[in-house]
Structure 1
Amino acid sequence: MTCVMSGKTILFLSKPQSVTGLFPSLREADITAGLAENLGGAIDFVAKNSPCLVFSVDQLPGYKAEDLLAHATRDNGFPPVIIFTERGCATDAKRFLELGARDYWLEPLMWDKVRAALPRTNGPEPSKPTPQPTASDGVTIIGQHPVVRRVLALAAQVAPSKASVLISGESGTGKEMFARYLHQKSRRANGPFVAINCAALPEHLLESELFGHEKGAFTGAISRKPGRFELADGGTILLDEISEMDLGLQAKLLRVLQEGEIDRVGGTETIKVDVRVLATTNRDIEESVRNKEFRQDLYFRLNVIPLRLPPLRSRGDDIVRLARFFVDHYTTEYALPHLEFSDSARQWLLDYDWPGNVRELQNLMERAVLLAGNGPIEERHFLLDLDAWPLPEDDAAPMQTADAAAPTETAMPLESALSGNEMRLEDIERIAILKRLEQTSGNRTQAAELLGISVRTLRNKISEYKKLGLDVP
């Protein structure tokens, strides 16, 4: 059962009666909804349609959600999975989250909550962090600059404690990576690490997500639901973009920090929780306090240990070290030869201002790997200035329009484009665009930001690809 539309695509792995009530709202929002009732059908739908999210019931006859999560763990390109159930408990929630589920919900599925979970049109997708360098034994933070070494030394010293840590820095500097580092170096490393984006949900949903709710607490709350603090009991909770939280909810959070207790929405029972709280912000939170936008008492509670991450532009040779890491990563991923930087490219890396920080560097290194061929990587491979890019020798004829181009040639599958000895510039451009759309689950604003182009340019490219019959997220 599929409603064919032009917007985002999602998949439900469930009995039809559990989700069909959402379909009218999905149609109004221009969202394609697929329905599968077994694991094989779900895997096939994901392979053919690249949904941005999968909503799966915990079990069906012959199916358990653990099998889907195991497959998702093996498949790096698999979309995030949200598990929902008719009757749940905190133990099951912890188990599914540890197996890789993004979230754990109780039925019924409410449209407001489904909509809030989808990748946003503006801004970053909630709860889906930018990939960061990792190693088998945990998070690896690359950096030898004295500022980074001081931050790492402080993080290592305070990691074993239960002290709250406020991590601040510009967008793209790796705040969540440092939070995971703190957790993995703590005595709670074997406990859960639960992250929630405070900017991704409206106030009424954020309160329920943080503290849980009781049956009947509000319309649609037909069962008790544990909150993120309960799920993080014995471990660590990360409150991402804490400065975006409403003042009223800040007061309730303050009580949790002071007393170690929560009250579910609509509940009368006080629940003790043992949770270490980490928070991040890309704002000047001290200025927010002065402007009465953030509670001073909560700021003092969170800011027991402040970690201020430096922008990439101030990290000197770390820029080249990180660039080297990302180039090695992408040459391995695309099965391409080892690449070196030319002297001019290395100097450009050091001179550039990096407004997007490490996230922007990662994007440009992927672009450079795709454009450099057998190398070395030159300055022009970072910028993708199409006007300056040389035409192939056999391409002296005038360019065809998208409508006139032969679909069998222009709409080359990604694997075919990568397997040849040479790639045309338009193939490389298409690969980069489709990969970023896949990475951002079809979020065009975020994909355009990562690509370094305008949303309008991206829309035009997507329109061209669709005319050629390509399946574009």
Structure 2
Amino acid sequence: MEALSLAPRRLLLVDPCDQCRRLQPHLEEAGWLVSSQSLDQAQAASYDIGLLRLRTEHLLRPEGVKHLISRSGTEWIALVDPLAEDVQGLDEFIGEWFFDALALPVDLPRLQGLLGRAFGIARLRGIGTRRGDQHELLGQSRPLRELRKQLARLGPSDRPVLILGESGSGKELVARTLHRMSRRVGQPFVSFNCGMLPEAETANLLFSHQGKLVAANGGTLFLDAIHDLPQGQHERLLNCLRNKVLRRADGESQALDLRVLASSREDLEERVEQGTFHPGLRQWLEQNRLTITPLRKRQGDIALLASYFVELYSLEAGRRSTHFSEEALAAMVRHRWPGNVRELASRVRRGYALAEGGPIEADDLGLHSAPADAVPLGTLEDYKRRAEYQALCDALAHYSSNLSHAAKVLGVSRPTFYRLLHKHQLL
């Protein structure tokens, strides 16, 4: 751990403004090696912590920011431009993608404190094992159990699989799990995001002599965000996959032996109907289909996952574990989790750092003890059903590792408790 504290601290400042640049000498005095680049240039940069001036344009077109952060493997802090403070969805975006955020102009001591905590967490993320990186497949809910059954069935196959799910739900993890369960486990797993580059660069990265199809030969190619693949490349990709041959513009060809997995946040059938997706490619990819249920519909899994992350971060940090306060557990159950498990991991990591050994509070998670969403009036039966559902969620949040005790606390038998969980699709 002492060696980590002596490591150079490299800070990347992305899309800086004049106010941001004026921070640079102060940060350098504090021991940071600061470089600044545009969002496009930042994709190839080397750094320990990222600092991004968050502008309105980033919120309206967030794909570039999401790609940068998701591929960086480190922590990011947002410096929020005043013009972006009133943009709808700002808080949710920050909660899902950033360690924390500060409004411009920045309070320098507060920024330095945040950078220190983010650096500590970022360094600890690289220590030790990731225990199989299976965390997003943990859960007792019915959708998770069904997903694991489908993975066991499809894993050994060589057929393509289309993985559907919201942002942050674990589509790449599912793809990697399918690869590990296949006969190609000892061969390459190559991931390519289809929607982050212009068409010419996409074509070159997929089909060139050193492109992704060649790199994945013998193994598995994961085409992330296939719905964003430029239309001009749909037919060429389909021909390669159908014929198992890569034909290049210079007339050369190469035999292909690979399994293709793809992911999408959108229904490809709708894309076909809109004329923006090749029907043959959609049909070829959907020979098998997996759908990942969003976290907000698996409330019984939230506390289990959150506890897992706390244990993981405490092991990495070499510190004792901690627990969530009653208020934090209630806030997690109420939250809608637009960023799914990735957002949960990010918030728990932030909460663990801020709690400093004490109980993790709702404010540490950035949830601010928000009240439950207003529910429209309904019949007495509606109120009873909602109350029953909330009671079950609360019991799972507190006692997910001991369902017998959860049933006892609610004053029902274990069989009745299981029946109610199934009734509300929490198990």
- Shorter-normalised TM-score: what interval? 0.5 to 0.7
User: Counterpart in 1 of 2:283?
Assistant: 300
Q: Is the 8 A contact 1:364 1:382 kept in 2?
A: yes
Pick aligned residue for 2:346 from 354, 359, 363: 363
For 1:77 and 1:153, the matched residues in 2 are separated by 39
Paired AA for residue 181 in structure 2: K
Q: Is the 8 A contact 1:236 1:278 kept in 2?
A: yes
The offset of 1:232, in angstroms, is 0.7
For 2:205 and 2:339, the matched residues in 1 are separated by 30
Runs (5+) with no aligned partner, structure 1: 10-29, 31-46, 56-71, 80-118, 213-224, 387-473
Map 1:207-246 to 2 at 5 A.
207-212=203-208, 225-246=209-230
The offset of 1:329, in angstroms, is 2.3
User: Counterpart in 2 of 1:377?
Assistant: 360
Q: Is the 8 A contact 2:195 2:230 kept in 1?
A: no
Q: Is the 8 A contact 1:341 1:378 kept in 2?
A: yes
The offset of 1:253, in angstroms, is 0.9
Q: Is the 8 A contact 1:161 1:186 kept in 2?
A: yes
Pick aligned residue for 1:279 from 256, 262, 269: 262
For 2:233 and 2:157, the matched residues in 1 are separated by 26
Pick aligned residue for 1:187 from 183, 194, 197: 183
The offset of 1:383, in angstroms, is 2.5
Paired AA for residue 245 in structure 1: L
User: Counterpart in 1 of 2:156?
Assistant: 160
User: Counterpart in 1 of 2:193?
Assistant: 197
Distance 1:358 1:123, change over 3 A: same
Query: C-alpha offsets along residues 85-131 of structure 1, whole Å, 9 cap, x if unaligned?
Result: xxxxxxxxxxxxxxxxxxxxxxxxxxxxxxxxxx9754422872769
Distance 1:121 1:291, change over 3 A: closer
The offset of 1:372, in angstroms, is 2.1
Q: Which aligned segments of 4 or more residues in structure 1 are displaced greater than 6 angstroms?
A: 129-134
User: Counterpart in 2 of 1:310?
Assistant: 293
The offset of 1:49, in angstroms, is 4.8
Distance 1:304 1:129, change over 3 A: farther
The offset of 1:379, in angstroms, is 2.3
User: Counterpart in 1 of 2:67?
Assistant: 124
For 2:205 and 2:226, the matched residues in 1 are separated by 14
Q: Is the 8 A contact 2:43 2:68 kept in 1?
A: no
Distance 1:385 1:350, change over 3 A: closer
Give the stretch that moved more between structures: 344-353 or 166-175.
344-353
Runs (5+) with no aligned partner, structure 2: 1-10, 16-20, 22-31, 37-41, 51-61, 75-124, 370-427
Distance 1:129 1:257, change over 3 A: farther
Tell me how large the CA RMSD over aligned residues is.
3.4
For 1:146 and 1:363, the matched residues in 2 are separated by 25
For 1:226 and 1:380, the matched residues in 2 are separated by 48
Distance 1:296 1:197, change over 3 A: same
Paired AA for residue 170 in structure 1: E
1:178 equivalent to 2:174? Answer: yes
Q: Is the 8 A contact 1:139 1:180 kept in 2?
A: no
Paired AA for residue 243 in structure 2: E
Q: Which has the higher helix share?
A: 2
Pick aligned residue for 2:238 from 254, 277, 286: 254
Distance 1:257 1:6, change over 3 A: closer
Distance 1:210 1:382, change over 3 A: same
- How many residues align? The count is 276
For 1:126 and 1:205, the matched residues in 2 are separated by 21
Query: C-alpha offsets along residues 380-419 of structure 1, whole Å, 9 cap, x if unaligned?
Result: 3223759xxxxxxxxxxxxxxxxxxxxxxxxxxxxxxxxx
Paired AA for residue 199 in structure 1: G
Paired AA for residue 156 in structure 2: P
The offset of 1:156, in angstroms, is 1.5
Paired AA for residue 378 in structure 1: E
Pick aligned residue for 1:341 from 315, 319, 324: 324
For 1:126 and 1:341, the matched residues in 2 are separated by 27
- What percentage of residue pairs aligned between the two structures are identical? 35
SS, match of residue 299 in structure 2:
coil
User: Counterpart in 1 of 2:375?
Assistant: none
For 1:311 and 1:174, the matched residues in 2 are separated by 10
Q: Is the 8 A contact 2:13 2:35 kept in 1?
A: no
Distance 1:176 1:362, change over 3 A: same
Q: Is the 8 A contact 1:127 1:197 kept in 2?
A: no
Q: Is the 8 A contact 1:129 1:176 kept in 2?
A: no
SS, match of residue 186 in structure 2:
coil
Distance 1:130 1:278, change over 3 A: farther
For 1:284 and 1:356, the matched residues in 2 are separated by 19
For 2:357 and 2:12, the matched residues in 1 are separated by 39
User: Counterpart in 1 of 2:247?
Assistant: 263
Q: Is the 8 A contact 2:362 2:368 kept in 1?
A: no
Query: TM-score normalized by structure 2?
Result: 0.58
